[in-house]
Amino acid sequence: MHLDQVAHVTLGFLPTPIHVLEQFSATLAGPQISIKRDDLTGLAFGGNKVRKLEYILAQALQENADCIITAGAMQSNHCRQTAAAAAKLNLECHLVLGGEAPPATNGNLLLDQLLGCHIHWAGDKRKGEDIPELVNKLKTLGKKPYVVPYGGSNELGVLGFVQAMKELYEQSNQCIPYSHIVFASSSGATQAGLMLGRAMLKNNCELIGIAIDKEEINQQSLADNILMLANQTALKLDFNYEFTRQHLNLDENYVAAGYGVIGESEKEAIKLLADAEGVLLDPVYTGRAMAGLIDYVRTKKIKSHEHVLFWHTGGLPALFAYADDVLNL
């Protein structure tokens, strides 16, 4: 099937802008660094999940679903963007969130509540383990639930980033003028889509996914999950290509103490970019990915004559929820 034939519903403001980070690049005294602003996709503070949801929720509409279920961490950006999309499409939304109801509401959780979704607390099961039970419950109430996978990472979610790669190509006058694209990688569809899009465009810029979470997804490592997603989606698009480990550049050296534990390097990255450019990063994803890029520049893994695109994947509401962790600089 051709990408243009897949059902799609417009949710975001695309294409997102690209601009050069002149002062930030000068501060690091390395390569020229540009930024792709998926924090500006719209939909209740934006982020990369909007791209995936344009394909996933189009299928939900086709199937006449009347309620949407998804899962994530308490400060999940994916859940907040799903809640906003559901509101816009007039669908009921159920979020299965890790942890227990906190005494105070902030960041993404505050937005989830404003967006009118139903929140189910799942304790230590933050990857949707409780969803089947909820599906059954909603069905017995006569509803037609549709489950959006963890992080929006299935073949439809991948299509959002195949399209994003096409968007980048068209935006840059039918080329991809970067030696490297650096981004946060966590449930897999962003990286799988960029890999597949790059292969379809026959481009060879280097894609560097900075891993954010060291835990497995559906008993699979993130690396295996990315390759599986890329291969399944290639098949769906009748694109004859087999992705193997050698096609994958996933750097797991920056996960540090794990998902959502903010360290000095994330804090430094957030502060450096904010001071140099007035551009904000989030503590969980883009702060960590940018810390990775800064390290690549300092250790000369990326050289001064090269040109990097940092793909900002959003996540900004979490800044408020992690205020105490980000502030003690």
Ligand X SMILES: *Cc1c(COP(=O)(O)O)cnc(C)c1O
- Between 184 and 293, CB nearer to ligand X: 184
Binding mask 245-284 for ligand X (x = CB under 6 A): -------------------------------------x--
Largest Cα separation within the chain, whole Å, is 61
Task: In angstroms, give the least distance from the CB of 158 to ligand X.
Answer: 9
**x/- map, 191-230, ligand X, by CB under 6 A:** x---------------------------------------
Other Cβ atoms within 10 Å of 40 Cβ, number: 17
Cα–Cα distance list, 16 to 12, 201, 247, 284, 311 (Å): 9, 20, 26, 21, 10
Least CB distance from residue 299 to ligand X, whole Å? 23
> Does 163 contact ligand X by CB under 6 A?
no
> Does the footprint of ligand X cover residue 313 (CB under 6 A)?
yes
Among 47, 128, 145, 317, binds ligand X (CB under 6 A): 47
Q: Is 84 in the site for ligand X (CB under 6 A)?
A: no
Which residue in the set 107, 145, 151, 287 belongs to the binding site for ligand X (CB under 6 A)? 151
Q: How many CB atoms lie within 10 A of CB 47?
A: 29
Nearer to ligand X, 145 or 315 (CB): 315
Number of Cβ within 10 Å of residue 255's Cβ equals 18
Our finding on whether 108 is near ligand X (CB under 6 A) is no
Q: Which of 25, 76, 153, 186 is catalytic?
A: 76
Query: Is 46 a binder of ligand X (CB under 6 A)?
Result: no
Is residue 233 part of the contact set for ligand X (CB under 6 A)? no
Q: Is 179 a catalytic residue?
A: no
Of 16 and 153, which CB lies nearer to ligand X in the complex structure?
A: 153
Q: CA-CA distance, 16 to 164, in Å (whole number)?
A: 9
Q: In the set 30, 98, 145, 315, which binds ligand X (CB under 6 A)?
A: 315
Provide, rounded to whole angstroms, the least separation between the CB of residue 31 and ligand X: 22
Spatial neighbors of 27 by CB under 8 A, at least 6 apart, are 272, 276
- Measured from the CB of residue 111, what is the shortest distance to ligand X in angstroms? 13
Look up residue 35 and give its two tokens. Answer: 């930024």
Considering the rule CB under 6 A, would residue 54 count as an interface residue with ligand X?
no
Q: Look at strands 250-251 and 18-20 and give their pairing.
A: unpaired
Binding site for ligand X (CB under 6 A): 47-48, 77-78, 151, 153, 184-191, 282, 285-286, 313-315
Question: Catalytic amino acids?
Answer: 76
